[in-house]
Amino acid sequence: MNKTFLLLTVISAMVSSISLADDATYSGSSCVKWSGGDVKYGGHGAVYNNHDTHKAYVLCNLPRTDNGGVYGDVAEIDYAYFGAIDKHNTQDVKCRFISQNIYVSGSIQVFWGGKRSTSGYGTQRQRVELPESQTNMFSNFVLRCELPPKSAANGVSKIFHYYVRQ
């Protein structure tokens, strides 16, 4: 009886750690200003830059749900995209994942995901897929995005949401 209970406990723990890796969609309004521009938030959950000439950089929170699995291997983002409207005719909305690990010794290791951007401009929503990104099991992830300045002719570019599968 004790062996069966132990086996079920181990299997339950393994399934629990595997099921922690989730898909989630986050609102653009969960992003916070990092530097530049004039970051504003729309009542519909979007983040945008209201400055006429300067880009804005935002950091978007990403709760870590993939802790490297049962064997403590590399944690990763398996699939992700952001939804944006790009109204600037010469500058794009750009995003990338960044992960930073600070070791006990004080040294820092940064993992940079590939940067992706909107293509063209207009009033249509664009879905921009981001490349996979990985880090070690002690690091955090953040999505860092660049919002172009407000276009005098077209208005503001916005990030409405971002989707992540870890």
- Show the domains of the chain with their CATH numbers: 22-165 (2.60.120.260)
Question: Which residues contact residue 89 at a Cβ distance below 8 angstroms, ignoring those fewer than 6 apart?
Answer: 121, 151, 153, 154
Of 108, 162, 160, nearest to 139 by C-alpha is 108
Q: What local confidence, expressed as pLDDT, does residue 152 receive? A: 94
Q: What local confidence, expressed as pLDDT, does residue 73 receive? A: 54
Q: What local confidence, expressed as pLDDT, does residue 111 receive? A: 85
Q: What local confidence, expressed as pLDDT, does residue 88 receive? A: 96
Give yes or no for a contact between 25 and 143, defined as CB atoms under 8 angstroms apart.
Answer: no
Q: What local confidence, expressed as pLDDT, does residue 63 receive? A: 81
Of 9, 23, 161, 157, nearest to 89 by C-alpha is 157
Burial class (CB in 10 A: 0-12, 13-18, 19+), 94: buried
Q: What local confidence, expressed as pLDDT, does residue 16 receive? A: 43
| Mean pLDDT per 10-residue segment, the chain (166 residues) | 42 43 89 97 95 97 69 71 96 93 84 92 94 74 95 96 92
Q: Going along the chain, which residue ranges are E strands?
A: 23-27, 31-36, 39-41, 47-49, 56-62, 75-77, 79-85, 94-102, 108-112, 116-117, 126-130, 133-135, 140-147, 158-165
Q: What local confidence, expressed as pLDDT, does residue 68 receive? A: 59
Give yes or no for a contact between 156 and 149, defined as CB atoms under 8 angstroms apart.
Answer: no
Q: What are the backbone dihedrals phi and psi of residue 138, each rounded to the nearest 5 degrees, phi first?
A: -110, 0
